[in-house]
Structure 1
């Protein structure tokens, strides 16, 4: 499930600030990076299964590996984890309403944090 119109999409920020804001809101990038991208996750273990709120970022300049990148946020997603296949984001997935609401609140908090630095989509 992709979050439409949450206004994180297209926010551009320096890597150090981006990592700080994401971590402050519980989103971590543990190994989810390459030299031109980063992926921030928040894991939710519920009785219905394991879910991930995922925020994808693409480097528009610099290098993620040496922490000098400027990154642009893509459309955030919520996915359900299936062992051993991985995370599915498809329209056929059913997500608990309380989880969707919590994820929307997290994304709103991230948006406000960037706005405090004068950064908006």
Structure 2
């Protein structure tokens, strides 16, 4: 994980309005949300894993599943999920197991971040600041 300090930290928005601004620009609400926190994810690449810019948010007025919830943004960070290479040794067994468990466990949920992704992430955060602070 690599944090990128930003002017959006601590800013508050209606979650619905954030979604309307961010989704057309490549962001999605990440799968790691629950009722007291969530993330907007921007998939930067999938080089030997998946590289994301992740923008955390927490509800401050309402719950995340309520229509008019207001959220507060946290510090954006880069995340590198490195997944295990698939082996074909036991293809028949793997096919059966896949019907029960579709997702491979990450080899490293927080792999090293390459410099090129740090630069790209800083550019994305700058764009995000322009998008959100102009509104």
- TM class, shorter-chain normalised? 0.7 to 0.9
- Evaluate the alpha carbon distance shift between residue 34 and residue 49 of structure 1 in structure 2; reply closer, same or farther with a 3 A threshold: closer
| Pairing 1:54–2:72 present | no
Q: Deviations over 1:94-116 (max 9, x none)?
A: 32222212111111111111122
Taking structure 2 as the reference length, the TM-score comes to: 0.71
Q: Secondary structure at the match of 1:28?
A: strand
CA RMSD of aligned residues (A): 1.9
Taking structure 1 as the reference length, the TM-score comes to: 0.78
Unaligned runs of 5+ in 1: none
**Aligned twin of 1:2:** 3
Q: Is the 8 A contact 1:25 1:110 kept in 2?
A: no
Runs of 4+ in 1 over 4 A off after TM superposition: none
Paired with 2:21 and 2:32, the residues of 1 have a C-alpha distance of: 16
Between 1 and 2, higher relative CO (CA 8 Å, sep ≥ 6) is seen in 1
* Higher alpha-carbon Rg: 2
**Aligned twin of 2:114:** 96
1:30 CA drift (Å): 4.5
Paired with 2:68 and 2:118, the residues of 1 have a C-alpha distance of: 33
**Number of aligned pairs?**
111
Paired with 2:133 and 2:13, the residues of 1 have a C-alpha distance of: 11
Unaligned runs of 5+ in 2: 84-104
